[in-house]
Amino acid sequence: MAQNGEPSRDALVNRQLPEMQLSDGSSSSMTAPPPPAPPYLTTEGRAVYRFNVEGNAIITGGAGTLALEGARALLEHGLSGLALFDLNPQQAAEPIAALKTDFPDAKIITKTVDVRDAESIGTAVKETARQLGSVDVLCCFAGVVGCTHALDMSVEEWKRTMDINSTGSFLCAQAVARQMVDQKSGGAIVFIASMSGHRVNFPQPQAAYNVSKASLLHLKNCLAAEWSRYGIRVNSISPGYMDTILNEGAGLERARTVWANRNPMGRMGVPQELTGPLVLLCSAAGSYINAADIIVDGGAIVF
Alpha helices in 164-274 (DSSP H): 168-183, 207-227, 253-261
How confident is the model over 74-89, as pLDDT tens digits?
Answer: 999 999 999 999 999 9
Q: Give CA angle at 189 (183, 195), nearest 5°.
A: 175
Least confident of 84-98, 149-163, 169-183, 238-252: 238-252
- Is the pLDDT at 245 greater than 70? The verdict is no
> Which residues, including other chains, have CB under 8 Å from residue 203's CB and lie 6 or more apart?
254, 255, 258
Bridging pattern class, strands 293-296 and 187-192: unpaired
pTM here is 0.93
Ramachandran angles phi, psi of 183, nearest 5°: -75, -20
Mean pLDDT of 275-301: 97
Which pLDDT score, from 0 to 100, does residue 247 have?
63
Mean pLDDT of 63-72: 97
DSSP single-letter state for residue 92: G
Q: Give the confidence band of 12 by pLDDT, cuts at 50, 70, 90.
A: low
* Catalytic residue chosen out of the listed positions 166, 194, 212, 228: 194
Mean pLDDT of 221-234: 98
CA 218, distance to chain mean position in Å, is 13
Mean pLDDT of 189-196: 97
Which pLDDT score, from 0 to 100, does residue 104 have?
98
* Catalytic residue chosen out of the listed positions 134, 166, 169, 213: 213
Q: What is the rounded radius of gyration, in angstroms, for the C-alpha atoms of the chain? A: 21
Domains of the chain: 40-297 (3.40.50.720)
Is 194 catalytic? The answer is: yes
37: helix, strand or coil = coil
Its sign, for the CA torsion 102, 104, 105, 107, is positive
HSE at residue 40, side-chain half, CA atoms within 13 A, is 0
- Is the pLDDT at 48 greater than 90? The verdict is yes
Distance CA 136, CA 24 (A): 22
Ramachandran angles phi, psi of 233, nearest 5°: -95, 135
Quickly list DSSP for 40-70: T--HHHHHHHHT---SEEEEETTTSHHHHHH
Mean pLDDT estimate for the chain: 94
Instruction: Provide, for the chain, the percentages of residues in helix, strand and coil under a 3-state DSSP scheme, each rounded to the nearest 5.
Output: 50, 15, 40
Percent with pLDDT over 90 in the chain: 85
Please choose, from the candidates 102, 94, 42, 97, the residue with its C-alpha nearest in 3D space to the C-alpha of residue 74. 102
* Catalytic residue chosen out of the listed positions 166, 209, 241, 283: 209
Whether the ω angle into residue 38 lies within 30 degrees of 0, i.e. cis, is no
Q: Give the confidence band of 257 by pLDDT, cuts at 50, 70, 90.
A: confident
Distance CA 177, CA 192 (A): 17
Contact criterion met (CB below 8 Å) for 287 and 225: no
Bridging pattern class, strands 187-192 and 137-140: parallel
Distance CA 136, CA 134 (A): 6
Distance CA 156, CA 134 (A): 37
- The total of other beta-carbon atoms located within 10 Å of residue 133's CB is 14
Is 213 catalytic? The answer is: yes
Mean pLDDT of 67-73: 98
DSSP single-letter state for residue 164: I
